[in-house]
Chains A and B, each alone.
Chain A
Amino acid sequence: MNRARRRQILLGAIPFLTLGTIWQMNAVYGWLAPIHIPPPMAVWGAIFTLQDSCAGLVDALQQSPGCLFTSHILSSLGRVGLSLVVGLPLGVAFGVLAGMHRRLANALEPVGVFANAISGIAWVPLAIVWFGVGWLTTLFILLNTVFWLVFFNTLLGVRGVPRVYENGVRTLGGKRREVITQVYIPGALPSIVTGIRMSMGFGWRALIAAEMIGGDRGLGFMLFVSAQEYKTEEVFLGVLVIAVIWMLTDRACLVPLERWTIERWGLVWRPT
């Protein structure tokens, strides 16, 4: 690790250490009531309170009621995963088709723009009407976000692939299938990955909101319930977990993936 990187890490840690220290001092000196700012140990302890009757790993994976902490996390992550598994292929498929056929793009784009303008959370009441409170609602909200963002970015990516690549492959004997799989999808991959990253960002937020309002499980739901019971330490815990999960997903997975794709394609990666 070179000097610049080391310095960055050290400097970057300062605000966190400062905040952490102030936090702990608050617990010791009691400047603000624990109901407003719970002591760090209480937040840590909340994990065990929530997991108290958890029998072990198997129990946790089965999301039994004794393992609240892990089961909320698993619920949220599971929904995100499911939305990716369904929304990603659909979004890419439609995006590629729309990118190749202008008419389809012209027809779908306004629908997507409008669906997105009604931001994820505004869909929740209608989703509750249709699907009731529960996982289907939250999944619907997530899918709505993921699909359109992946669709738009794929469309953009496909449009940006120079026509001459398609021509080249067609003169080698490639038919429609080869053109899609060997030209447009690889060509649009940098944009697709950006789309995945954006949809994860917005989708994660929409999920938490949807779980708060219309969910029965998950991190958002946990935040909401704990807030109602004024258990601030649980709320803090939930918020921290949300932040950590997102930072891990984005910085540790998505950004490197984006950078790898873009650099491998010979483009220049611009950090956002």
Chain B
Amino acid sequence: MATTSLSVARPGIVLSARARRFWRQGGIELALVTLVLLAAWATISVTIPRPDRYLPSPLSVVLSSGDLLWKGILPNYVGQTLWRLVLGSLIGLALGIPFGILVGLNRHVSETFYPVLNFFQSISGIALLPILMIWWGTTEKTVFGVIVYTCFFPIAFTVLTGVRSTPLIYMNALRTLGASRLRIVRDVLVPGAMPSIATGARLSIGYAWRAAIAGEMLAGRRGLGWMIFSAQQVDQTAQVILGMVLIGFLWILLDRYVLRPIESDTIQRWGLVQR
């Protein structure tokens, strides 16, 4: 492999700047891979016995989506899952962020809580689900409980470490300007924790998404998770695949176009304090 420049564009073909970027960022490979996978999927689907059960063709998946959309079921399920995610995450973040900041302010307090936060983070929300099901049965409360729990610990932990790793020099600088403790919290620690808050929020919401799906599956509440679980039980594999594809796309949309931009913007704006 040569080190320096090799001609990329074929001589004689003049590409516009956008086309060149598409080519270079792997757009061609993406399109190719998608086509190949779809083709392989369709081929396997028609060659195996009982495709309805094992691998419905892409066409039947699309058709079943049309059916569900028409009946309004699909938007309902998507809405339910998203609603749980949003509400549960908000509660979890609203509890976790202040907790992380407060605990992070004092060195001794943070050292006290660090191990126990770590411990509860090791118990994933999903492992907690059976306990909640014994307590609250298969209710909305159970699923929300799991989501809030799953969201709380990662963000509390991340914010805690973020606050603790604020460089001492910034706080000292403000003290030499005569700032009070409260002022230091307001002007240094909270802004300094913003990048951690952004990253922690993104992580937490990611975990919460998985918890929401799992919670629906096990606690039997209507939603995307429930849809793929129950569809499997009645051999409606097309719906299972449809649900999976939706889950995948929804997450990609949420992560790439909502969460990551917010994270980058926050870090850019507040990234005065490097982790």
Which A residues have a C-beta under 8 Å from some C-beta of B?
A: 7-8, 11-16, 19, 35-36, 100, 102-103, 105-111, 113-115, 117-126, 128-130, 163, 166-167, 204-205, 208-209, 212-213, 220, 223-224, 226-227, 230, 232, 235-236, 238-239, 242-243, 246-247, 250-251, 270-271
Contact = CB atoms under 8 A, between A and B. Distances in A.
Contacts of A130: 54
Given A35-B134, A167-B3, A239-B123, A111 B37 contact: yes
B127 A36 contact: no
A16 B116 contact: yes
B251 interface: yes
A269 to B, nearest CB: 13
Interface of B: 1, 3, 25-26, 28-30, 32-34, 37, 53-54, 108, 111-116, 118-120, 122-124, 126-131, 133-135, 161, 209-210, 213-214, 217-218, 225, 228-229, 231-232, 235, 237, 240-241, 243-245, 247-249, 251-252, 255, 275
A208 B124 contact: yes
A129 B218 contact: no
Q: Is the interface of B mostly helix, strand, loop or mixed?
A: helix
Contacts of B130: 212, 223-224, 226-227, 235, 238-239
B217 A232 contact: no
Q: Is the interface of A mostly helix, strand, loop or mixed?
A: helix
B248 A118 contact: yes
A129 B237 contact: yes
B30 A110 contact: yes
B112 A11 contact: yes
Contacts of B120: 243
B111 A125 contact: no
Given A121-B214, A209-B126, A126 B232 contact: yes
A163 B3 contact: yes
A119 B210 contact: yes
Given A8-B111, A119-B209, A242-B122, A129 B131 contact: no
